[in-house]
Amino acid sequence: MVATDVTTTSGYGSDLTGLVLHETGHGYDPTANGQLQSGSPAFSAAYQADLSAGNLTPYESTQQRTTAAGMSEAFANSFAAFYAGDSQYNLSHPNLYLYWSGDSPPAASCGTSC
Ligand SMILES: [Zn+2]
């Protein structure tokens, strides 16, 4: 939730629009019942699938996967990339792209939990 994280290391949103989208992603993360979408089985499955496939940047893969705060950053970064209209996002992060597209992640990666 630090403004500088998106401009210095994420690779996304190095302009004001990206920064606003990143912070909007944080605002979109909590659900009405107090849960975080970044901790949901569906988001975790998409994230882990892109992680396993080697699709994540070093920042995304090493600093974000181990904590809830880290997953929140991954959620905000991917929200920003998708809604900024990154034309390469479906190629660079295919599973997270599908997550944001409203499609289900591959069934094998999340079983019956999502
Ligand atoms: Zn952030």
- The structure's pTM equals 0.73
Distance 107 CA to ligand 1 centre (A): 29
Report the 10 Å Cβ neighbour count for 40: 19
Residue 113 in domain: no
Structural domain count, the chain: 1
Residue 114 in domain: no
Token pair 């089985």 is at which residue?
A: 41
Task: Find out whether 15 and 63 touch, Cβ atoms under 8 Å.
Answer: no
Residue 4 in domain: no
Distance 4 CA to ligand 1 centre (A): 8
Q: How far apart are CA 104 and CA 25, in angstroms?
A: 19
Going residue by residue through the chain, which has 114 residues, state the pLDDT in tens, using 9 for 90 and above: 444 444 344 445 457 888 999 999 999 999 888 899 999 999 999 998 998 899 988 777 765 566 777 888 889 989 999 999 888 999 999 999 999 998 554 444 455 555
Which structural domain, as residue segments, surrounds residue 29? 13-105
Distance 103 CA to ligand 1 centre (A): 24
Instruction: Determine the pLDDT at residue 29.
Output: 93
